Amino acid sequence: MSTKNIMVVGVGGQGNVLASKLLGRLLMNEGFDTKVSEVHGMSQRGGSVVTYVRFGEKVYSPVIDKGQADFIVAFELLEASRWLNHLAENGQILTNTQRIDPMPVITGAMEYPENLVEKMQNAGAKVDAIDALSLAEEAGSSRAVNIVMMGRLSNYFDFSEASWNEALLSTIPERYMDMNFKAFALGKNA
Amino acid sequence: MKELLLGNAAIARGLYEAGCSVVSSYPGTPSTEITETASEYDEIYSEWAPNEKVAMEVAFGASLAGVRSFTAMKHVGLNVAADPLFTIAYTGVNAGMVIVVADDPGLHSSQNEQDSRNYAIAAKLPMLEPADSEECLSYTKYAYELSELFDVPVMIRTSTRIAHSQSIVETSDRVVPDTKEYKKDVAKYVMMPAAAKARHRIVEERLEKLRQLAEDSFLNRIEMGDTKMGIITSGASYQYVKDIFGESVSVLKLGMVNPLPIKLIQDFASRVDKLIVVEELDSIIENHCRKLYLEVTGKDVFPLVDEFSPNLIANLLGLEVNEGISMEEPLPQRPPVMCAGCPHRGMFYTLNKKGVTVLGDIGCYTLGSMAPLSAMDMTICMGASVSSLHGFNRAGGKNSVAVIGDSTFVHTGINGLIDIAYNGSDSTVIIVDNSTTGMTGHQDNPTTGYDIKGEPAGKIDLEALCKALGIQRVRVVDPYDLDQCSRVLDEEMDALEPSVIISRRPCVLLRSVSAKPPISADEDKCSGCQLCMDIGCPAISMKDNKTRIDATLCTGCKVCIQLCNFDALVSNEV
C-alpha cells in the first residue's frame, strides 16, 4: 500500500504528543512501517503545534508536506484552518469546533475568523466537525479532547476495537483510563 | 524486540545496549530526551550537569577511569563545551566516549542555526549522522567500537527531525565491556606543549585512518537507481530524497559526515550523469566535492538557511509539487506565550511599565519579549544577560537590568555576576527563579534540590551564593505581588552598588504546584478599560467590551486582580 499521512494539529498543551504516540503504537502493532514526528520545546508553550504520523510498507520522510495529508485531525478550529494547505486531494479534516484565542486575537490586533468550517468546505475540504470539548467534559475532563478526537478518527479506519484498546492501554496512565475510554467512545459515536 | 522509539530514545537505548555506564548532560532542545531516557535505565549513572562544558568533562573523566561514557547537547551547547572538546580530541580516550550534538535547522527552539559538522572538522573528530531511529540506536553502539578502536571521542550529529521523530527499532540486550584499567600516561593525558605537539601528529594520522575507513564503511552506502541524477545526502535530507525520488535517482547516503570519503565519492560521481548534494545548512559535502574537482549542484540551488522539506527539494530540482488548497483569509498567528499563571509575568509586566531596558537570556522567560509584555531588549546565549549588562552599564547604559532564569544562572550566568561583584558594577540582576528548567520540559537543576531521578540532592542557596560572591544587596520578591515587584525594583535600581533580585515562585506546570480556583469576571462591574489585558495572559480576553476569563486555563494567580480598578475580577479562593 502507498504511505498514508495523518496530521495531528492543535495548541501547545492540548495533548498532541500523547495522541500521536497512541496512533504510532496502533499502527506499529498493525504491522506498518511507522514514523511519528513531534515538536518539543518552545512551541509547546501555547503555540501552534503539529505532529506528523505516516504509515505504510516503507516510510521515508518523517514529515508531511503541503498537499499530502490524508487526514488532518485538529484539536482547535483555527489550527485546522492553518494547516488546510497540507490536505491532500480527497483528504479529510476532523476538527474540534472549540475556539482558543491566540495572542494576536487576545490583544485585539486581529479578529478570530468566523465560519471556519464553511470556509474550509468552500475551499474544497471534507470536514467532520464535532464539539470535542463538550464531549471531553462529559467524559470527565476538558483535557481529554485529544482522545475524543482519536475516537472520531477511529471511524475512518478498519482497525479492530481491540487494537485501539491496546493502544489506549499502553499510552495512557492507568488512573485516567476509564475517563479516556469514555472520551474515546463519545468521540467515536458523536 | 520491535519498538517505536523517538530518535533520542533510540540513542539512549543504544547507550544501554553498548554498556555505557556514565551519562552527563545539560538539557537543550532537541537533545534533552536522550539523557532523560538514559536516566530510566538503572544500570546507567545519569545526571544533569550545570552546563555542557562540565558535562563533557564528566564524561571524559569516566572514560579516563575506564568505563564507556556519554554526553548530549544541543548545537549551541557544543559552543560551551568546545574547550574540552578540542583537547580531548588530542588525548583520545581510555574507554569509549560518545558525544551527541543535536542541530536545529529551522530554529524550532533555538537562537541560531549553526551547523555542528563544522566542529567535527575543526576538532578533527569522526562524526556520524543517523537518518532514523534504527540508525540512532545502531550508530550509537558502533560509535563506541570506533571510539575504542581509534582512541578517539566520537561525535554523533542529529537534527530536530531525527531527534524528535519516532520510527521502529529492533532492540537487543545490554552488553557491558570489561572496565579498562586506568594507567597513568602523562604523554597522553597531560596536555602541556611538548606532549600536545606529539599528540597533534597522532590526531592528523588518526584522521587519515578514519578517512580510509569512510571509503568502505557500512556507514556510507550507494543505492543505485536511475543514473541520470546522483544525489549525495545524509540525515533527514536522505529521507526526503528517497520520499520524492524512490528508485528514480541514485543515492550516496553518508552515515559518516566527517571525515568524508574521497574514492567513494569519485566512484559514485563517475557512475551518474549529474551530481547533486542535498544537505541542510552549510555546504560541507559540496565543498568537499569541489575540492575533488567534481562538477556538482548544491547551494547554487538549495538554500543555506532553514530546514528542508520534501516539497522544497522536489521544487528546487524542477519537479512540480502540490501546494494544497487554501482559504483566502489571513489567519492570526499563534506564537508561543507565557502560560496562564506563569510566575514570570508579574516581573515582566513591572519592567514594561517602568520602561526598563532588559538584557534577557535563554528560557521560557524569553517570551517576555512578546507583546504585550514587550520587556526584553537583547537575547544572545546562556548567561549573556548578566555579563552584557555590566558592559552596557560601564558604557553609560542606564535604567537597565538583566533577567535570567535559575537554571541558566547556574549554567553560565554566575560567571557574569562574579564580574559584576568583582568590578563593582552598579548593575541589577534579576534571577527569575521558577524552581525548574522550564522550556526544555521541567528538568531539575542545582537550585531545585532534586536530581535527574527526582531524588533529594544538593541544593544551591541562591541568596547565600550571591552574597558569597560579594553582592551585599540581595532581595527576594514574589512575582505575583506587583506592588512588591515595583517597590523593590525601584530601590535596587537606585542603589549605587551591585544588586540581585530573586523573583521566586515555582512554575505553575510543576506537579507540586496546585492551581487555585479560577478568577471570576463580574460583567456588571467591568468597565471595559482593558487594563487587565496588559499582562498578556492567555486566559483573559475581551468579549462585547467585557473581560472574560477562560476557566480551563486560569490558575487563580490573582495578578490580573491587582490591575482592576473596578473590583470586577474576583478570586474564588476560600
The string of pLDDT tens digits covering residues A127-179 is 999 999 999 999 999 999 999 999 999 999 999 999 999 999 999 999 999 99
Measured in angstroms, the CA of A48 and the nearest CA of chain B are apart by 5
| Averaged pLDDT score across all residues of chain A | 94
Question: Is pLDDT above 90 for B86?
Answer: yes
Sequence ranges of chain B with CATH classification 3.40.50.970 = 2-216, 344-504
Residue-wise pLDDT for B512-541, tens only, equals 998 899 999 999 999 999 999 999 999 999
Cα(B362)–Cα(B369) distance, integer angstroms: 11
- Check CB contact under 8 Å for B538 and A38: no
Residue-wise pLDDT for B294-321, tens only, equals 999 999 999 999 999 999 999 999 999 9
Largest CA distance in chain B: 82
In this predicted model, which residue has the larger pLDDT, A112 or B515? A112
Question: Is pLDDT above 90 for B206?
Answer: yes
Measured in angstroms, the CA of A39 and the nearest CA of chain B are apart by 7
Cβ contacts (< 8 Å) between A119 and chain B: which residues?
327, 329
Sequence ranges of chain B with CATH classification 3.30.70.20 = 520-570
Q: Phi and psi of B394, rounded to 5°? A: -60, -30
Residue B153 C-alpha from the chain's centroid:
21
Question: Is pLDDT above 80 for A39?
Answer: no
- Residue to test with chain B: of A6, A32, A63, A90, most B Cβ within 10 A: A63
Grid coordinates belonging to B129: 549522522
- Check CB contact under 8 Å for A11 and B108: no
| Averaged pLDDT score across all residues of chain B | 97
User: What secondary structure does DSSP assign to A85-116, as a single string?
Assistant: GGEEEEEEEEEE------HHHHTTSSPPPS-H
Q: Contact at 8 Å (CB) between B252 and B222?
A: yes
Letter for the amino acid at B536? G
- List residues bridging with A8 in a β-sheet: A51, A73
- Check CB contact under 8 Å for A37 and B164: yes
Residue-wise pLDDT for B99-156, tens only, equals 999 999 999 999 999 999 999 999 999 999 999 999 999 999 999 999 999 999 999 9
- Check CB contact under 8 Å for A89 and B322: yes
Residue-wise pLDDT for B321-372, tens only, equals 999 999 988 999 998 889 999 999 999 999 999 999 999 999 999 999 998 9
Residue-wise pLDDT for B257-268, tens only, equals 999 999 999 999
- For chain B, say whether A163 makes contact (Cβ under 8 Å): no
Q: Name the H helices within B326-403.
A: 344-354, 384-394
Residue-wise pLDDT for B420-473, tens only, equals 999 999 999 999 999 999 989 899 999 999 999 999 999 999 999 999 999 999
Cell 533520542 sits on residue: B8
- Check CB contact under 8 Å for A85 and B325: yes
CB proximity list for B152: less than 8 A, separation 6 or greater:
B89, B92, B93, B125, B126, B146, B206, B210
CB proximity list for A33: less than 8 A, separation 6 or greater:
A55, A56, A57, A58, A59, B167, B168
Q: In B357-415, which ranges are E strands?
A: 357-359, 400-405
Task: Say whether B475 sits in a helix, a strand or coil.
Answer: strand
Q: What is the ipTM of this complex?
A: 0.95
- For chain B, say whether A114 makes contact (Cβ under 8 Å): no
Cβ contacts (< 8 Å) between B542 and chain A: which residues?
108
Question: Is pLDDT above 80 for A1?
Answer: no
Q: Beta strands B250-254 and B229-233: pairing type?
A: parallel
Measured between CA atoms, the residue of chain A closest to residue B246 is: A60
* Mean pLDDT (whole number) for B550-574: 94
CATH number of this structure's domain B344-504: 3.40.50.970
- Give me the pLDDT at residue A42, please: 66
Helices A145-154 and A132-139: angle between axes, nearest 10 degrees: 110
Measured in angstroms, the CA of A108 and the nearest CA of chain B are apart by 8
Grid coordinates belonging to A8: 495531528
What class does CATH assign to B220-316?
Answer: alpha beta
Cα(B427)–Cα(B438) distance, integer angstroms: 26
CB proximity list for A43: less than 8 A, separation 6 or greater:
A12, A49, B108, B109, B336
* Mean pLDDT (whole number) for B14-32: 98
Residue-wise pLDDT for A6-22, tens only, equals 999 999 889 998 999 99
Cα(B439)–Cα(A27) distance, integer angstroms: 30
- Check CB contact under 8 Å for A28 and B2: yes
- Give me the pLDDT at residue A41, please: 64
Query: Which of 3.30.70.20, 3.90.1580.10, 3.40.50.970, 3.60.70.12 would CATH assign to domain B2-216?
Result: 3.40.50.970
Residue-wise pLDDT for B148-184, tens only, equals 999 999 999 999 999 999 999 999 999 999 999 999 9
- Give me the pLDDT at residue B329, please: 87
- Give me the pLDDT at residue B328, please: 85
Cα(B507)–Cα(B514) distance, integer angstroms: 10
- Give me the pLDDT at residue A43, please: 65
CB proximity list for A24: less than 8 A, separation 6 or greater:
A34, A36, A53, B4, B166
Which CATH fold topology does A4-102+113-189 show? Pyruvate-ferredoxin Oxidoreductase; domain 3 (3.40.920)
Cβ contacts (< 8 Å) between A41 and chain B: which residues?
29-30, 108-109, 439-440
- Give me the pLDDT at residue B60, please: 98
Q: C-alpha dihedral over A9, A12, A15, A21, to 10 degrees?
A: 60
Residue-wise pLDDT for B217-268, tens only, equals 999 999 999 999 999 999 999 999 999 999 999 999 999 999 999 999 999 9
Which CATH fold topology does B520-570 show? Alpha-Beta Plaits (3.30.70)
Whole-structure pTM value: 0.97
